Amino acid sequence: MENNRWYKLTLRLWPDVARYNQPSQMQATAAIIPLFFLAPLAVLAMTWLLVITDWVGLFREWPAMVVLTAVILILDFNSFTLQLNFGKDKNVTLTSSLATMVMWAGVLVLGPSALWTAVITSLVMTLKTARYLHVYNENPVWGTLSLLVQEVGIGLLAMLAAAATYQAFGGLYPLVSLNDTTWGPLAASTLTLILLPAVLLLPVIIEINRLAGLPDWQGNALRFIGSMAVLALLSLPFSILLALSLSLSGLGHFIFFLLGIILINQLIYRLSSANLRQWRLNRELAHLERLSEALLQSSPDASELERVLQQHIPALFINDRVQIFIFPGPDAATHTAVWPTFHLTHPPQARHTSTVNWDRLRTATEPIITIPDVVMPQETGIFGDALMIKIQAQEAEDPTLAHTLAGGIYLIRHQIHGKTADSLATLQGLASQIGAALYRAQAHVEMLQNQRMSQELAFAGHIQASFLPHEIPQMPGWELAAALVPARQTSGDFYDFVVLDDTRIGLLVADVADKGTGAALYMALSRTLLRTYAVEYPHAPERVLQATNERILADTQSDQFVTVFYGVLDTAAGTLVYANAGHNPPYVAGSQRLELAKTGIPLGIYPGMAWQQQRVQLLPGDVLTAYTDGITEAQNGDEEAFGEARLWAVLQNGHGREASQTTTDILKAVTAFVGHAPQFDDLTLLVARRRPQEDDGVIR
C-alpha cells in the first residue's frame, strides 16, 4: 500500500529510541501514539471506501482484482530496505516495495473500488508482522491494532484522496490515453499520493521522536518525510504506463509487465539485503574497535571488564540477544590465570540460554557451535539460529599446554533482522578481545605475585600465540605450512591463513619493527585489522593494506610500524594476487624463479598511502616461500648473515619436497649456520606448494 510502511518504521525505530528511554515507556509509545493519531483516519478511510465502492463493477473485474492482490502481496513480502546517509549520525532507514506503483495503476484502470485489494493486503501484512511483536515485548492486542490503523489510516486514505483528486480534475476510469485532458488529473492525483502520506505521518513521527528524546528529532522527522516523498516521486509515474498496458493491451500484457515488476523488486530486495549486511558489518567493526580501545584503557586486572562490555555490547548488537559467560578461572594460589567471573545478558530482561548449551560448549572440540531453529518459550514460531563461540585462555607457565576455556558468547538474531551467521566475524573478534583482556588480567596477577617483569612478557607472548592459526587449512591440490620461532617471550612476527571461500585463501606474513610487549600488542591490533579487512575486501589485497594503515594510524599514537606481505591465492586457477608493504620479497621456486618485490611502504607510517597489487601464476610444482628478516639476517659467531643466497640454495636443493619438509629444511639450515650464536630475531616462515599434476588425483 503506502510507499513506506509505518509499522516497519515503528519496529525499526525501536532499537534507536530504546537507548534514550526505558523499554516500558517506548512500548507504550510505539503502540498508543499511532492509535491516537491514526485511528480516526482509518475509520474515515474505511467509511469512505464503503460509500464509493461500485460493487457490480468490482465483481465484474474479479480476475484483475485477484491478480492485483497476488502481485501486491508478493511485492510486500519482499520489501526492500534502503539506508540513506545525510552525514554523520544522520541516517534514514526506508522500507518499501513497488506495491504502491501497482496499486495506483489498478485504481487508474478499475477505479477506487480496486482499493479493496489494499484492504486485503493490509490485513495480511498486519497479521504477518504481528507475529513478531514479541521481539519487542509489546502487547499483542494493542500492537496489532496499531499496525492495522497505520496501514489503513495512511495508505488507504492517501489512495482514496488521490482518486478523488483525479476525478475532481476531470479524470476518467479507465485511463486509456495520455493527452492534454489527462495530464492535469494525473499530475494532481500523483502529487496528492506523494505528499499526503508525509503530511499524515508527520505528527506521529515528531511525537515519537520527541518523547524518545532523540537528538535533532526535528531534523530526523524532516529527513524521513523528505526521503519518503522522493522515493514515491521516482516510482509512482510508472503507474501510469502500467495502467495504460492494462487498458489498451488487456490482462495478458498487464500480467507480463507485472512479472517484470516482480523481478525488479526482487533484484532491489537482494541488493538492499546485501547492502544491509555490509552496513551492519561496518557498524559492528566500528563499535568493535571502540570496545578494543576501551579494554586497553581499562584496569589491567579485568575488574572493569563487565562494565566495559555492558557499555559497548548494546551498540554492537542492537537488535540481537547476547550472553557472555566468563567461567571461574584457575586458583590464584597456583600462580595461574585469575579473572572476574560474571554472566552478562543483553537486553537485561532476555531469557538466559539453557545450562545444557553452556555444558555443550565446554565439552565441544570445535570453537564455534551453531544451534539451528531456536524456539523461545512463550514466543511465536522459530526465533532464528544461534551461535555459541568459545573465549579461550592459555596456561601461563607452559605455552605447550592446550588452550583453557575461559568462557563463551551466545548470540541470536531474530529472523526478521537477518541471519546470526552474518555477524560471525564480529563474534570472533569480540571473543578474541575478551580473551586478550583475560590474558592481560592473568599476566597482571602473575606480575603482582612474582614481581617479575618476565611474566608480563610471557603474557604478551601467549597473546601472540593465541592469534596464530591453531591448524593449517587444507586446500585441494596444495600443501600449506608455516612456522614461527620467537627469539624472546614476545614476538612482533606473525602469519595467518584467511579462508575466503572454497577456492581462495589469504596468505599473510608480517613483522612489527620492534620487540617486547609493545610489539606484541601492536601485532595483535594489526592482525585483527588485517583479518577483518581481508574478509571485507576479499578480491583486493591493496585495499586491505590501505584500510588497515588508516585504522592503525587513527587508533594508535606510536612510532612503530609493520611490514606486511598479503596475497590472495586462487587454488583452482593457481594465481596469486598480492601486495607487499615493505616486507622481504617472498620467493617462488620450481619451474620458475621469482621475487615478489615490495609494492609500497610499511603500514603505520604515513596516512593516505596506497599500495599496488601484482599477480603471478604458480605452476604445478612451484613453491611460494614468504619469510621475515629473521631468516636472512640470522648471524653466526662471526657476525656473518645467513643471506638470500643460502635461502635460495635450500629451496632449489629441496625441489619436489612437501611444504612442511621445506619449512623444516630452512629452519635446520638456519640453526646449523648460526651454531651457538644467540638468536636475535624471530624466525617466521609460510610455505605454499602447488602439487604436481601427476600427484593431484591421488592426493585428492
Q: What is the DSSP string of 337-404?
A: -----EEEEESTTSPPPPHHHHHHHHH-SSSEEEEEEEE-TTS-SEEEEEEEEEEEEE-SS-TTSPEE
- 167 vs 175: CA distance, rounded Å: 11
H, E, C per residue of 95-146 = EECCHHHHHHHHHHHHCHHHHHHHHHHHHHHHHHHHCCHHHHCCCHHHHHHH
Q: Cis peptide leading into 538, omega within 30 of 0?
A: no
Question: CATH code for 467-700?
Answer: 3.60.40.10
> Mean pLDDT over residues 35-60, rounded?
85
Per-residue pLDDT band at 164 (split at 50, 70, 90)? very high
Question: Grid coordinates 495506483 are at which residue?
Answer: 104
The mean per-residue pLDDT over the stretch 415-442 comes to 82
Distance CA 569, CA 241 (A): 50
DSSP 619: P
The stretch 524-531 carries a mean pLDDT of 88
Q: How far is CA 116 from the centre of its chain?
A: 40
Nine cell digits for residue 277 = 549486511
- The CB density around residue 654, as the number of other CB atoms within 10 Å, is 18
User: Looking at residue 451, what is its pLDDT?
Assistant: 54
Beta pairing, strands 403-413 & 504-512: unpaired
Instruction: Indicate the average pLDDT of the chain.
Output: 79
DSSP assignment letter at 641 = B
Confidence check: pLDDT of 549 > 90: yes
Residue whose C-alpha cell is 592426493:
699
Cell numbers describing residue 525: 591490533
**Domain extent listing, the chain:** 6-276, 298-451, 467-700
pLDDT of residue 98: 82
Q: How many helices (H) and strands (E) does the chain have?
A: 22, 17
Q: pLDDT at residue 698 above 90?
A: no
Say how far apart CA 7 and CA 153 lie, in whole Å: 12
Cα distance between residue 96 and residue 7, in whole Å? 11
Give the C-alpha distances (Å, rounded to integers) separating 314 from 291, 374, 438. Answer: 11, 21, 21
Q: Which long-range contacts (CB under 8 A, 24 or more apart) does 639-642 make?
A: 642/669, 642/670, 642/673, 642/674
Q: Is the pLDDT of residue 434 over 80?
A: yes
Angle at Cα 292 formed by Cα 86 and Cα 341, nearest 5°?
130
Does residue 282 or residue 587 have the better pLDDT? 587
pLDDT confidence bin for 332, thresholds 50/70/90: very low
Q: Reply yes or no on whether the pLDDT at 216 is more than 90.
A: no
Residues in the chain: 700
Phi, psi of 132 (to 5 degrees): -105, 10
Mean pLDDT confidence for 399-416: 71
Residue 6 has pLDDT above 80, yes or no: no
pLDDT in tens, 87-96: 555 555 666 7
Residue 239, pLDDT above cutoff 60: yes
Residue showing cell 485489494: 117
Report, in this order, helix, strand and coil percent for the chain, each rounded to 5.
55, 15, 25
Looking at residue 695, what is its pLDDT? Answer: 54
Rounded Cα–Cα distance for residues 404 and 1 (Å): 56
Asked if 496 contacts 472 with a C-beta cutoff of 8 angstroms, the reply is no
The confidence band for 596, taking pLDDT boundaries of 50, 70 and 90, is very high
* Whole-number pLDDT of residue 211: 62
Residues 6+ apart with CB under 8 A from 216: 90
Q: Is the pLDDT of residue 443 over 80?
A: no
- Beta-strand (E) ranges in 219-272? none
Residue type, 235: S
**Interacting residues of 544 by C-beta distance below 8 A, sequence separation 6+:** 530, 533, 534, 536, 537, 566, 579
Q: Is the pLDDT of residue 555 over 90?
A: no
Cell of 420: 546470526
- What percent of the chain stands above pLDDT 70? 76
Task: Report how far residue 606's alpha carbon sits from residue 613's, in angstroms, rounded to the nearest whole number.
Answer: 19
Cis amide prior to 174 (ω within 30 degrees) = yes
Calpha distance 226→232 (Å, rounded): 10
More confident residue, 408 or 222: 408
The per-residue pLDDT for range 449-494, each reduced to its tens digit, is 665 555 555 565 565 666 678 789 999 999 999 998 887 766 778 8
Side-chain half-sphere exposure of 122, counting CA atoms within 13 A: 31
What end-to-end distance do the CA atoms of the chain give, in Å? 56
d(C-alpha 507, C-alpha 528), whole Å: 14
pLDDT at 157 over 60: yes
Q: What is the mean pLDDT of residues 540-564?
A: 90
600-638 residue pLDDT tens: 999 999 999 999 999 999 999 999 999 999 899 899 888
Higher-confidence position of 681 and 463: 681
What gap in Å lies between CA 536 and CA 531, rounded to an integer?
9
| Residue 642 CB coordination number (10 Å) | 20
Q: How far apart are CA 488 and CA 457, in angstroms?
A: 9
Domains 298-451 and 467-700 share a fold: no
How many Cβ atoms are within 10 Å of 351's Cβ, its own excluded? 12
* pLDDT at position 379 over 90: no
177, three cell numbers: 490515453
Q: Which residue has the higher pLDDT, 288 or 550?
A: 550
Is the predicted pLDDT of residue 337 greater than 60, yes or no?
A: no
- Res 5: pLDDT: 35
**pLDDT of 266-277, one tens digit each?**
888 888 777 777
pTM across the whole model: 0.49
E strand intervals along 541-598:
562-570, 575-581, 587-589, 594-595
Give the architecture (CATH level 2) of 298-451: 2-Layer Sandwich (3.30)
Instruction: Tell me what pLDDT residue 122 has.
Output: 83
Range with the lowest mean pLDDT among 215-219, 321-325, 474-478, 528-532?
215-219
Q: How far is CA 356 from CA 194, 376, 385, in A?
A: 54, 15, 16
| Degrees, nearest 5: CA angle 170-175-176 | 120
Q: Cell digits for 542?
A: 591493496
